[in-house]
Amino acid sequence: GYAIERKQQGIVVANELSWEMKKFYNAEFQVGLKALYPDSVQIPGYRHITAGRSLQSLL
């Protein structure tokens, strides 16, 4: 999506409602962060299956 592309390009878009999203929709906000930072996701056996390859190389 566009948010991931902007993140990869280093483009920062200010969001005036980000504090509200964090407060009222924290679970959804955390899922969004994991989408932006997929290396932070821990999946049991994942490293064994991928043999250390990055997520991008598997897509």
pTM of the predicted model as reported, rounded to 2 decimal places:
0.43
Closest CA to 29 of 3, 52, 48: 3
Integer Cα distance of 34 and 31 in angstroms: 5
pLDDT one-digit tens code per residue, 44-56:
665 555 555 555 5
DSSP codes of every residue in 2-43: HHHHHHHTT-----TTHHHHHHHSHHHHHHHHHHH-GGG---
What pLDDT digit, counting tens, does each position of 4-46 carry? 888 889 888 888 888 888 899 999 888 888 877 777 666 666 5
> CA 39, CA 34: separation in Å to the nearest integer?
8
